[in-house]
Amino acid sequence: MFPVESKPNFKFSVKMLTQEDTPITPVSSFSSSHSSPEEGHSVLHIVGKTPLQGHVTVSGAKNSALVLMAGSLLCSGVCRFSNVPSLVDVDRMGEILAALGVKVTKDGKILQLDASHLTESKAPYELVSQLRASFFVTGPLLARLGVARVPLPGGCSIGDRPVDLHVKGLQALGAEVQIEHGMVNAYIKGSRKRLQGARIYLDFPSVGATENIMMAATLAEGETIIENAAQEPEVVDLANFCRSMGAKIQGAGTNRIVIEGVPELHETEYMVVPDRIEAGTFLLAGAITKSEISLSPVVPDHLTAAIAKLKEIGVGVAIDAPDRIRVIPAYEYRGADIETLPFPGFPTDLQAPFMSLLTLADGDSVISETLFENRLQHVAELNRMGADIRVKGNIAIVRGVPKLTGAPVMATDLRASAALVIAGLAADGLTVVKGLHHLDRGYDNLEAKLRGLGANIKRVQEDEAAIESVTVVG
């Protein structure tokens, strides 16, 4: 139905499955043009205090794109996505889907996934271990094939990140789930072909568990109700996508989602929602550099908590059009307290970059990270840049300082890397940000977009960086 576009970004090859894998059919395997972490020896050079101006285009949401890609497994046809961000994580999810038999074609922001003929129910460990979101394939595979074998994704630098709520939800839908040798083996019990609708209460409104269960329930027999569901915009985007394939879902965006299962889903075209975290990061970039910049497309309602906190510290935010906002800086900012919470609370994914702004506010701020147990690793790096932050457990106490000074710093996770870039934009002199494989996972061309706004930022090879920093410091 959809024309297969040229695919400049990806290399394709054909792999024969081993005997263990059934059935024996060729599948496309898929690898990206992004550099792997091992190859990633580039660093960012940022010369701070350069004012920004102009407009920036916000990309499609990483966290939507990844789960929509997994959701395409529900459809025995072609799903064509537009506004797909260019990210290492998207490439990796494409590789995982290709390993399951999905035909993956990407051309710029258009991604076409043809899951007509799935050839495999087992996701490969090497790929899953690099991308936690790959666990999203469990629900769709189980619903579509009656079996899913997905390695436990394991923890990551921000915390343990268990999947018990995903597993309990799938069990409630009638799946037998065994976890052995690091592998989640799930299958539909007895002679039934479909999962069974159920009433599921989530102990915590986990985004991933809500999404996995919702996807599985679209093809179940009967009605599923998810109570205490996550209300994040990406959950709503997933529900809208599933609806565009013929799923019957109501209540997404509230804490009670009702899904009436259907026997099958059909082909669709779908546009990924704008990335609220990227948008928030640019609002912070404008605020910290005291620059007026505008952004679109955005959904202002997705940014309510971040905008409220910006206003509380003295930053103006104007909504110029339904999909366009502008940050209006002030001469100085006040400290404020932040607690990360499930949506519509303040997003944990903006905690680190917001902290960078608060380091330069007048007075103290208390930041409580309630979602992930190890998500304050950027503190030590911000302190290397002259910030005054102390950590007690999951709380960071930020005492505002008059200035930050550029320094070599190491990104420890995705949002920490954005925090260091934001800090570097406002610091005196040169900041060198290392560990860019984190940034490339989740920000679509951040430095090019910032350069477009006038920032003095460039990516250089690490050895070149060493020579340059000697020149600058000396």
Q: By the criterion CB under 6 A, which residues form the site for ligand UD1?
A: 63, 66, 133, 159, 161-166, 204, 206-209, 230, 234, 348-349, 371-372
CA-CA distances (angstroms) from residue 385 to 287, 309, 431?
Answer: 18, 24, 8
Distance of closest approach, residue 362 Cβ to ligand UD1, in angstroms: 29
Structure tokens at 152: 């436990």
Measured at the CA of 47, the angle between CA 44 and CA 48, to 5 degrees, comes to: 115
379 or 426: whose CB is closer to ligand UD1?
Answer: 379
Which residue in the shown chain puts its C-beta closest to ligand UD1? Answer: 208
Helices 62-71, 138-145: axis angle to 10 degrees equals 20
Terminal alpha carbon distance of the chain: 61
Q: How far apart are CA 402 and CA 205, in angstroms?
A: 39
Catalytic status, residue 156: yes
Backbone angles phi, psi at 334, to 5 degrees: -100, 155
Give the strands of the sheet with 388-392, arranged side by side.
338-339, 364-368, 395-399, 388-392
Distance of closest approach, residue 150 Cβ to ligand UD1, in angstroms: 13
Catalytic residue, candidates 75, 79, 156, 242:
156
Q: Where are the beta strands (DSSP E) in 322-436?
A: 324-328, 338-339, 364-368, 388-392, 395-399, 408-410, 430-434
Contact indicator for 22, 85 with CB cutoff of 8 Å: no
Residues 6+ apart with CB under 8 A from 376: 369, 391, 394, 396
Distance of closest approach, residue 61 Cβ to ligand UD1, in angstroms: 9
50 or 304: whose CB is closer to ligand UD1?
Answer: 304
Q: Which of 411, 425, 421, 416 is nearest to 396 (CA)?
A: 416
Distance of closest approach, residue 443 Cβ to ligand UD1, in angstroms: 12
149 or 161: whose CB is closer to ligand UD1?
Answer: 161
Distance of closest approach, residue 341 Cβ to ligand UD1, in angstroms: 9
* Catalytic residue annotation: 156
